[in-house]
Each structure stands twice: as C-alpha cells, then as structure tokens.
Structure 1
Amino acid sequence: MERIAIVNATNDAFVPVLQTLHTSLLQNNSTAYVDFFIVDNDLSFNGKGRLAANIAHFPNAAIHFETVSLMADTDFVESNRIPKTAYYRLMAPCLFQNSNFSRLLYLDCDMVVTGNIMKLWQTDLAGNVIGAVEDAGNLDRFAAMGLDTGGARYFNSGLLLIDLERWRQEKITSKVMAFIRDHPEKLKYHDQDALNAVLYSKWYQLHPRFNAQSDLMLGITRTFDAKTARLNREARQRPTIIHYCGHVKPWHSDYQHADLQAIYRYYAQRNGGVADGAEDQYQ
C-alpha cells in the first residue's frame, strides 16, 4: 500500500473544517495509507485530540503534529480571510529532512476530496519544484506586483504538490520568506503572491479537477482558449478536490450555493465537523 504525505496548517478555529477534509479524503482513498502532518504553533491539546480521534476509525491513516516557528523579523501580511497560519505551508518542506518521503501534498483546510488522489500524488512534475492549478480568478497579479514573467500563469496555492529535494536545493522557503519581508506592500494575496513571484517558471500545471475552486465550480471563470474551457468543463463534471475559496464558506449560514454546500455537509455530518445549526462559530 503506497504511503501519501498530506500536509495541512490549522489553528483551533479551523479544527472542525480540517476534520471534514480528512474524512472526505479517507472515505474516497481506502487503497492508500495516508500520513497527515499538521503544522502549527499554537494548536491546543484539545484540538489535536479532536483531529486524532476523527481519523482513529480509519485503518489506513496516521496523524503527526509538527510545531513551526515563523521568522520574527518578517512582516506577515494578514487579513480576516488569510491568517498567519496560511504561511505555515512555507515551512512544511523543512520538516521532512530525514523522512522517506520524496514529495508532499499540501492542502488548504477549506477543501473536500471527492475522488481518488493517487493519480495526483503520482504526477510526474517534469523537473519542476511544484505542481499546482491555475487560479480560477484569472488574476493578473504579476503586472500588479511589477514583475516581468514573460506571460507566466498564476497558480492557486491552496494545493501544492511539492518535490522536496528540488524545493530544498533551490532554497524556496528562504526565497519566499525574503520576498515577503522585502515586499509586503505587493502582497494582496499574501503568501500566494510570494510563492508565485518565486516559482512562476518552476511549476507544473495540474488538471483543474485537483483544485476545483469555487468560481470554476460555479462556471463564472473567464476562459481564453478552447483547451482551458475543456479542462474546466471536465473539472466541473468530475472534480477530485473541491476548494471552497472566498470569504463566505459552506459552513456559514449565508452561503448561497446549495449544491456545493450539500457536498460539504455530506462529509461534515460524518465526523466531528460542522453540522447544521453550528456553522457560524467557525469564521
């Protein structure tokens, strides 16, 4: 049975949301052994216990907790949508110096897995540092940041398939942290902007079904060529991972997309996650 390394970053407020992601992944991937690595610097004993208990009845999973420290002299741009925990993904590759894993899969908490991820896990990255999916907002962030990238596409950092050796060889963590420190005024989308600034020519474009973002699922993305339109259509029809981007989430009572919310609640109601009537306590 192949082992898959999944990395998540969370705080106590998002523990129920992460439980839902874990439940959805394990229910749809019984043929792989999944090692979950949770990176944080302030997750409570209770929060860790809830995450561990949530996967305890799955025989093909284990959970590990890793404490990270961010550079104290870095100006971390935050917002009510993106807390400092989002930056923990930058440190995750440093935790695998002595492991048997050659790659890891980082997933944001606000996702559900609706299919088998083995094809994603085994993707040949063709010499690139990461695999990712283009941001569904078709964001022209490079121009806004004043970067000449020769027409490079901008990826969404909610899912990153990371080649650990190449990441370390090219000192990506240090380079991204330096960009954050030196250019905080450029970071509208925080660490995602910084990751794109450093990796714009070193990422492999994955099928959008592996990070089917809300705009894509709702059919409101702009498409500029026939191939992208076809891939987006395939992702909407058979998403492997749905990413609930945006400020309003499916566990909020004012979420307006019933079909997407129903998918989320299907998994949330099968664990200790967000259930009906309890959505708004998780902001």
Structure 2
Amino acid sequence: MKEMSAIKTIAIMVAADEQYADQMLLTLKSIREHCTLETAIDLFVLSSDLSHATKSAVNRLMTLPHHVSFIAINPRRIKNFPGNNHFDQTAYYRILAPQILLARHIERVLYLDLDTLIRTDLTPLYDSDLEGNIIGAVIDPGKALTLKRLGVPKSQANNIYFNAGVLIIDTILWETHHISQKILAMLVPYPGRRVNDIQDALNVVLAGRTKLLAPKWNVQNAILFKTYEPINNEYSQLFKQAIMAPKIIHFTTEKKPWEVFLEHPYMSEYQVYLSQLPADKRDQINIVSAANSNFVEPLAILYASILNNNDDDRHYAFFVLSDQLTARDQATLRQITESFNAELTFIEVDEIPLTAVIQDGQVLKTAYYRLLIPNLLPEIERVLYLDCDTLCLENLARLWDVELGNIPVAAVEDAGFHNRLAQMAIDYKSIRYFNAGVLLMNLTIWRQQKITEQILTFIKEYPQKLRFHDQDALNAILHDRWIHLHPKWNVQTSILMDFIVAPTERINRQFLSAQKEPGLIHFCGSEKPWDKSSTHPYTPQYRFYKSRFLENNNPVPFRANTTFDEYHS
C-alpha cells in the first residue's frame, strides 16, 4: 500500500479593502483550484474594512484543509503615503505584515497582488531557495537597470530592479534587518528624494538582499507583450520560457482585465473566473438549531420555509446541534436542504459543560445547546440561531444584515413582559428582556468576552433564579448588551393570539406591525401546529409545507419564492 504523503502548509498573504473584494476572490479561487491535495494554505488577508459578506465568501473559497486569518491593519500608519492609479493604500500593508506574521510563528510568506491569475500549484514557488536573502522576486523589465536613479550606492547599483507584486518574504530576516521601519522612513517625502512609490522603496531598501526568481512566477504585461528588450541573453531565454508556460499572470499597468482588456492573451481565462464571481460572492447565512428526534419534522419544515423564501444572492448553511438524531432523522433533513442546494452539517454535542443545567418536562438539555454554539463553530463569525418551532415567511437577508458592531446578540423582546431582571435581582439599566428563540449571534464577541463561560457559571451558581431556564441565564448576562430587533423577526404566539397590554405605545405599534407583516413565526407556548387541535393562525402554513415537502414522494421546490397565499390562489 502506498504511504500517504504528509500535508504541507504554505503561508500566503494578500491585502484588500472592500473596493477590491472581487479581485481578491478571483485570485484566491485561482490559487485554490490549482492547489494540490498535498498542500494546505494558511491564508492571511490584510485589511482595514472588509464586510462580513466578503469574509464569508473568502471562508467558503478556502475551506478545510485550508485556513483563513483576517488581520486588521491600522490605516493611519500609512495614510500620508502616496497612491496612484496602479494601487491604493492597501498596497502598503505588505510592509507592515511580516512582524505580525512572525509573532504568529510564520517564518516565510508568499505575498501576491490582486491583479494576478494563478495557473499552477504555488508550493514550488513557496519552497524556492532564497540563498540567505530576505526576499525572492522577479525582474521588472521596464525598470530593470534603474537602481542608480534611486540613489542606490555604486556597490549595489548593478542589482536588478524587481517587481513587488509577487514576493517570497523571510519574516525572520525581514525583522532582523528592520526592513519595515526602513521602508516607511524611505516613503516620507523630503526635497531631493527620488523614491516615487512603494515599489521604489522596496527596491532601495532590499538592494543586494533579493534573490531573483524565474520570470515565469510573475509574468507581467511587459514580458508578454515584449515591451522592452531583455537586459541580456539569459533573460531573453527566461522571458521566452515565461511566455510559453506562465505560472502566474500579472496584469500590470493601468489596463486591467476587470475593465475589459481584450487584447491580453489571458483575458478569456480571467473572464471565466470573472463569470463565476456572482456565485462565489453569495453571502452565506449560517442557521443553527438544536434538535432531538421529536423535533425533526418542525425543523425540516422550518428549513423548507426558509429556503423557499430565499433569493439567489444568499447561500444557506444549516448546522444541527444533534441530540442523538438517527440516520433516518438526518435523511429527512437532508432531503430538504439538498433540493435547494443548501449545506447541512450535523454536530454532536458534548454535554459535559451542561452538567449543572436544570431540566423539566418541557425544557430538555437540548435547549441549552445554543449556549455552546461559539465553541462548537470556532471558525464562524456570526450565526442566526432559530428554535425548531419557528416558521419563515420572508427572506431572511434583512435580518442577517443587521449590523452588530461589538454587540454580542440581537433579539426580540419577550412578549410576556415578565419583569424577570428585577425578579432575578439583576442590576440593570433597561428592564427589557429578550426571547431566546431567535438570536442573531456575534460569535467573535462571544468568544472574546467569554460569554458562554459567564452564562454557565451563572446557571451553576444561581439555579434557583432560573424560572425560564437558559433564557433567564442569557438575559442575566447579556442585559443591556443586546440589539432590539423588530418583533416581526420573532412573532411569538402571544403576539398573535393573546391580548397583550404592551408597556409602551411604541411597542404596541410594533406588535401590530408584526401581526400584519410577520417575518418569523415562533410557535412558543403550548399551541403547536403539529397538534391536530391547533388553532394557531399560521397552522395552515405549517401544514402546507409539511404536505409539500415531507409527505410528497418527490419533495422539490414547487416554484422559487412561492408563498402560501399564491399557492392557494
């Protein structure tokens, strides 16, 4: 039997802001599609303002065994440095990154500009022998012999000017020689200085410390179009080899393929990737629920209702925190998600952290699983948690796009107005208390602030205070730290069926609005749509989805975004 090769990890970094999100996604896709099974990519994205939608798209492109880290760079450090039509301020991020990466034990990294198209596995490039030099780079044909112009000493003036769009960086040597500080100093303008941009500064500081790589690893437009005569016979041959078999295409100069560069020989190849961007960019909405076998039917119906109201701009990934679900249970849920090309993942939950929780006939340990979500999904930044007894009537994109900032959670006020914070002796600013059946969770903040640990500690120390179980514990820790969602996103049974005296006229108006235009119905309380005697006003919609998707022998979408009313009209 052939022995399996060990996985090799290579570190790659790119720099982008939201303006260049498309170009970044395209470059990353070309990297991933040419990566061999023996290589895992440790990707570092340097940025100061990427949206969660773009981050989600990057994470979907670079799934396991690859890994993504987003590194925030403070733009104030380079705000006064010059830019031009070729690059924006993010081009300077590569200067600041080596110190950050070395602190993470990354001793070598491959930097790539975002106007590159990768056509091969990058492992051989990453493994290039730098022969003791700080970086590896490829000649820039248009400036090859211009180091004298930049004031480089005669002893180093015969070194060749390199292009900075593809760089292998030895972060240890970079830091040892204080390269970042020297380059930043070089970019500060003063009379007589000949350095015009970041590439000039890199060449000045790194003259005599650069290993020149084969041009096939950075095939610039000047090489492809033979704009300049090669500096010698050796480079004449190297350029011919690069043109015949380019490894990395670099769309240098102001003409860019996303602006239709028709005469470029690799324009059509780039356009294929460009045509795939809409699908790659679809924002992923992460839905998490917890279920045992008794709740598989309502969960499947919830999935069908969500996906039937979705649009093509969003991709859904469902995560089930499984309480001993059987193979048949899982198959029932899969038949729904697969008919809509959605993702479905089952996660077995270790209940050891929940040994102190209180259960009764209505609330089982499964209900507490939501508290563990930040640790169960360590690579995900945000999720929408939904109880199984909810039903979707509207596209969830508006809810998903609520900006959380540094707030841990967004939720809807509980319609019972229980005054629970005072009854639990919580020192609060606002009396408002949320319902835990619909939670838009900022998992990054949960982890940073160790919110799960705080909640579990409260449960252990104050079990006598928990009339409403984990919902009480959530409110006890997160009071005054949650965003108030419109009640349309958690239309509780009491809002629809009971006469509620709201504490303020404003809330009363919101409840009336939620009754007219509900987004998520929450069948909380004893009135359940799967009971034969149910009189809930949305029981017919629940049974409609059950009939169409669970009792049909071929449960496929009947028509995109078909509503209950349209179907019965």
TM-score by length of 2: 0.46
Q: Match of 1:34?
A: 316
SS of equivalent residue, structure 2 residue 549: coil
- Which digits, 9 at most, give the CA deviation of each residue in 1:198-252, with x for residues without a partner? 0002110001000111111225222122211111111110000000010231111
- Which digits, 9 at most, give the CA deviation of each residue in 1:47-83, with x for residues without a partner? 1121112222112x11001111123573221122221
SS of equivalent residue, structure 1 residue 264: helix
Q: How does 1:39-118 map to 2 (within 5 A)?
A: 39-59=321-341, 61-71=342-352, 74-98=355-379, 101-118=380-397
- Cα separation, 2, equivalents of 1:95 and 1:84: 16
1:148 is aligned to 2:427: yes
1:23 is aligned to 2:308: no
Q: Match of 1:270?
A: 548
Q: Match of 2:516?
A: 237
Q: Name the CA shift for 1:199/1:69 in 2 (closer, same or farther; >3 Å).
A: same
Aligned length: 270
- Which residue type is aligned with residue 189 of structure 1? F
- Cα separation, 1, equivalents of 2:513 and 2:361: 32
- Cα separation, 1, equivalents of 2:426 and 2:473: 11
Q: Name the CA shift for 1:8/1:73 in 2 (closer, same or farther; >3 Å).
A: closer
- Which residue type is aligned with residue 322 of structure 2? D
SS of equivalent residue, structure 1 residue 19: helix
Q: Match of 1:131?
A: 410
- Cα separation, 2, equivalents of 1:270 and 1:200: 41
SS of equivalent residue, structure 1 residue 14: helix
How many angstroms does 1:166 deviate by?
A: 0.5
TM-score by length of 1: 0.91
Q: Match of 2:452?
A: 173
- Cα separation, 2, equivalents of 1:206 and 1:72: 30
SS of equivalent residue, structure 1 residue 7: strand
- Which residue type is aligned with residue 264 of structure 1? Y
Q: Match of 1:277?
A: none
- Cα separation, 2, equivalents of 1:272 and 1:76: 34
- Which residue type is aligned with residue 367 of structure 2? A
How many angstroms does 1:41 deviate by?
A: 3.9
SS of equivalent residue, structure 2 residue 289: strand
- Which residue type is aligned with residue 547 of structure 2? Q
- Cα separation, 1, equivalents of 2:300 and 2:323: 18
Q: 8 Å contact 1:74–1:177 — kept in the other structure?
A: no
- Which residue type is aligned with residue 194 of structure 1? A
1:11 is aligned to 2:289: no
- Cα separation, 2, equivalents of 1:120 and 1:260: 21
1:196 is aligned to 2:478: no
- Cα separation, 1, equivalents of 2:541 and 2:358: 32
- Which residue type is aligned with residue 177 of structure 1? L
- Cα separation, 2, equivalents of 1:124 and 1:72: 30
- Cα separation, 1, equivalents of 2:458 and 2:505: 35
Q: Which structure would you say has the larger Rg?
A: 2
- Cα separation, 2, equivalents of 1:152 and 1:214: 22
Ranges in structure 1 where 5+ consecutive residues have no aligned partner: 274-283
SS of equivalent residue, structure 1 residue 55: helix
Q: Name the CA shift for 1:12/1:73 in 2 (closer, same or farther; >3 Å).
A: closer
- Cα separation, 1, equivalents of 2:300 and 2:465: 33
Q: 8 Å contact 2:354–2:368 — kept in the other structure?
A: no
Deviates more, 1:229-238 or 1:142-151: 142-151
Q: State, as a whole percentage, how many aligned pairs show the same letter.
A: 38
- Cα separation, 1, equivalents of 2:311 and 2:297: 22
Q: 8 Å contact 2:466–2:473 — kept in the other structure?
A: yes
1:121 is aligned to 2:400: yes
How many angstroms does 1:105 deviate by?
A: 0.4
More contact order relative to length (CA 8 Å, sep ≥ 6)? 1
- Which digits, 9 at most, give the CA deviation of each residue in 1:129-157, with x for residues without a partner? 10000001111111221222133310000
Q: Match of 2:28?
A: none
- Which digits, 9 at most, give the CA deviation of each residue in 1:3-51, with x for residues without a partner? 1000010001111110010000000113221000001242222211211
- Cα separation, 1, equivalents of 2:431 and 2:375: 27
- Cα separation, 2, equivalents of 1:255 and 1:73: 33
- Which residue type is aligned with residue 438 of structure 2? L
SS of equivalent residue, structure 1 residue 37: strand
- Cα separation, 1, equivalents of 2:450 and 2:539: 39
